[in-house]
Amino acid sequence: MPATMRNNHGFTLIEVLVAILLLVIVAGALYASYFTVLRARDRVDEGGEQRRELRVTLDLIRRELDGAFYRTDDKRTRFVAEDRDLFGKPASTLEMVTVSPPSTDDRPASDLLLVKYGVKEEERRLSLTREAADLFGSVKPTPYPQMEEIEGFLVECYDSGKWVRSWNSELSPKLPERVRITVTLKDGEKTTDISVIARPRMR
């Protein structure tokens, strides 16, 4: 028998098992890396969506505060901020009358909206709700989620050189000089506060 045929024995069982073991280790590492990348991408997408939602919410509240309307001789107009908390987290409420943009539908409506923001708790999760209705209308407003998964909502009013967390136009018949809105969000293991300041002008 020629020498070349005598030395052609193929792979031993040990060599095949070692090769399979190495293949499993490499495949497992690639599998774990792939799903780690997918989870990181999903977290980035969720964070981007939450930031977009936050920008829209804060811009809406700021515009409504800028257009806040109050008259001492009209009890229907009011501005009320209440300091509350849930599980040790700020959960303010804010109620005001604001000048609204012109309506695009044919329904008769005034240019004044009664708007209320509040925090709703469900299974220890907080969400910011908003309800709005025409000041002179008869339809009862229904709160709907404006922003979900928040860690806090704080309203502060500035007047006479100091910030306060409560305001009631029935007790202090005027609008505050400035209003600061702070929304707290979860950022990994920490929390982040994002604030906006508005100046009510319709005095």
Instruction: Read off the pLDDT of residues 117-162 as tens digits, 9 standing for 90 and up.
Output: 999 999 889 999 999 998 888 778 888 899 988 999 999 999 889 9
Phi-psi region of 149 (alpha: psi -120 to 50; beta: other; left: phi over 0): left
**Residue type at 9 in one-letter notation:** H
pLDDT at 114: 94
Is residue 108 pLDDT above 70, yes or no?
no
Q: What is the largest CA-CA distance in the chain?
A: 117
Q: What is the predicted pLDDT for the residue at 37?
A: 73
Does this model's pTM top 0.75? My answer is: no
Residue 107 has pLDDT above 60, yes or no: no
Q: Which two tokens stand for residue 28?
A: 């497992």
SS3 assignment, position 11: coil
Summarised one tens digit per residue, pLDDT across range 20-72 is 888 888 888 888 777 777 676 666 555 567 888 999 999 999 999 999 999 99
* Beta strand extents in the chain (DSSP E only): 79-82, 85-86, 89-90, 93-99, 112-122, 125-134, 144-150, 152-159, 162-164, 167-168, 178-187, 190-198
Please give the pLDDT value at position 34: 74
Res 103 pLDDT > 80:
no
Write b or e for each residue in 14-27: b if 16 or more Cβ atoms lie within 10 A of its Cβ, otherwise e: eeeeeeeeeeeeee
| Local structure of residue 119 (DSSP, 8 states) | E
For residue 115, give the amino acid letter: V
Q: Give pLDDT, residue 56.
A: 93
